[in-house]
Structure 1
């Protein structure tokens, strides 16, 4: 079966690998254009484009599926298209090209967390269970009928990045199994059912911690925005980046945002009990342990995060 694979970030690479390893004829890869990376803004292929080049697969670079991209997809003549975090909508003209349509691997238990940031939103919301599904792509936002489902427990210290990495590997297996079922004529998709929730793309502001919120909510938020866009706060009028905090229910009495040393631990007050800082990146400096940061200050007295 001829397969077009659409994807862009690193989390889509395991799926591309799985389809190749399963013996599918991946005739082309659709991915977003090369982007400037790092301080020197070096133009760099997407992780999917780089892997496709290693595999000798033709690459279609397009920021959106316009008429030119649609024509190249038609030239590839795929029987089915598999899409994993491509980063753009697929218009009806392109949806109709493969005879088996487009199969989307989405990292949530649809209809929960439809949108661009399902894993991040699930962690921020405190979900205990999440997962991934394969579904038939249609014009609506993640609304199509579901072929297959897997579940994954959200650990108490999981960051969105860690959880997404696990789901990218297990989801790749699910995607290959779904395409195998379609090839064998044994696939069936069932309509989505249940409560709908939305997972819009994260912005930088989603990473700003509000220290008046309860400790658990702050911990979930910090884990949900790690690694991107990252948790942060304001100190002395400058933005300070933070890695996920640890809950410390044994310490109370600190005002929200107030920083204090408790033994060897650097604590911050919240709307409930304190949290422990793990690593911090002051403006203009590298990420460091909270203990090293505290040692570099004359005193923590009067240090307050905003």
Structure 2
């Protein structure tokens, strides 16, 4: 099939590469978000998907909005049979959805209808899901509501962060998306409506959502921090300043100190913070304007007094 691929961040790269490597399909163009500042120097650069397309010599379209007349004209001229989508980052309007004969097919990183929305992996981790996965579905005007083609499942490990879990799903999802394109092409695959039960929402996660509440149970603190890693990052405050947090470690044992929520306890090789159900061990921390460092190194530098609190 003639394909126009739409995607933007790193998790979409494996899918684009899989389609580029498939001799039965022809990726005639890529749609990605406009070049944007990134990194410490805020240098304007291509998205990861756009960079791969450039390296492969494929035309790249970067509309500010996919309803722009110039983009729609270009899409019609390309005459794709189908438009596979992975984390593109913009809603596709009806006028664009109607261009390809087989529509736009999205690879979504959840087991739909669970976790519809922009942040399904973060939502699954924060909820404590033991199994998640990826789903291919036909895009319609509703948010992730279209009929589905196929799924892959993935076990969630106790130490998984969003970055680690999404990295695995990107690879398994790429194989699913290729299989879906193959099935649509040869007519062996038909989309089926999503179940009406089990719907949940996963809106975009902002820094305001990732401040740690130390009065929550230890397991909830652990899940929140892992879900926010690497982006947008979990955080708390210490002495009135923001303190970034890497993944924490749950603790157990009869020798643990009894700490109030957020109360710090410093030992030679670990720093504990109190929660509603028992302390967690801090991992890396990132003070304002500094690089991340192990919590014991940070604690030695700031000289924490007995009874000092986070948050």
Normalized against structure 2, the TM-score is what?
Answer: 0.96
1:4 aligned counterpart, secondary structure: strand
- Counterpart of 2:10 in structure 1 is 10
Cα distance in 1 for partners of 2:64, 2:170 equals 22
Superposed CA deviations along residues 244-293 of structure 1, whole A, max 9, x for unmatched, are 10001322510110111245211000011100001001112110011111
8 Å contact 2:123–2:227 — kept in the other structure? yes
Alignment partner, residue 87 of structure 1? 89
What does the per-residue CA deviation read over 1:165-200, in whole Å, with 9 as the maximum and x for residues that have no partner? 100000000000000111111111111113100000
**1:109 Cα offset (Å):** 0.3
Work out the CA distance in 1 between the residues paired with 2:183 and 2:116.
25
Q: Which structure 2 residues correspond to residues 42-57 of structure 1 after superposition, within 5 A?
A: 42-57=43-58
1:15-54 matches, within 5 Å, as 15-23=15-23, 24-54=25-55
State the secondary structure of the residue aligned to 1:156: coil
- Whether the 8 Å contact between 1:63 and 1:88 is mirrored in structure 2 is no
Q: How big is the alpha-carbon RMSD for the aligned residues of Structure 1 and Structure 2?
A: 1.0
SS of equivalent to 1:296? helix
User: What is the CA–CA distance in structure 2 between the aligned matches of 1:181 and 1:146, rounded to whole Å?
Assistant: 13
2:255 is equivalent to residue 253 of structure 1: no
The answer on 1:228 being equivalent to 2:231 is yes
Q: Give aligned pairs, total.
A: 306
Partner of 2:135: 133
2:219 to 204, 216, 220: 216
Q: 2:299 aligns with which of 277, 284, 294?
A: 294
Match of 1:70 in 2: 72
| CA deviation after TM superposition for structure 1 residue 74, in Å | 1.1
Mapped partners of 1:300, 1:207: distance in 2: 26
CA distance in 2, matches of 1:163, 1:107: 10
Check the 8 A contact 1:206/1:225 in 2, yes or no.
Answer: no
Following TM superposition, by how much is the alpha carbon of 1:214 offset from its aligned partner in structure 2, in angstroms? 0.4
Runs of 4+ more than 6 Å apart:
none
Runs of 5+ consecutive residues of structure 1 not aligned to the other structure: none
Q: Larger deviation: 170-179 or 277-286?
A: 277-286
Displacement of 1:162 in angstroms is 0.6
Check conservation: 1:252, 1:272, Cα contact below 8 A: no
TM-score, length of structure 1 as denominator length: 0.98
Unaligned runs of 5+ in 2: none
Tell me if structure 1 keeps the 8 A contact 2:268–2:296.
no
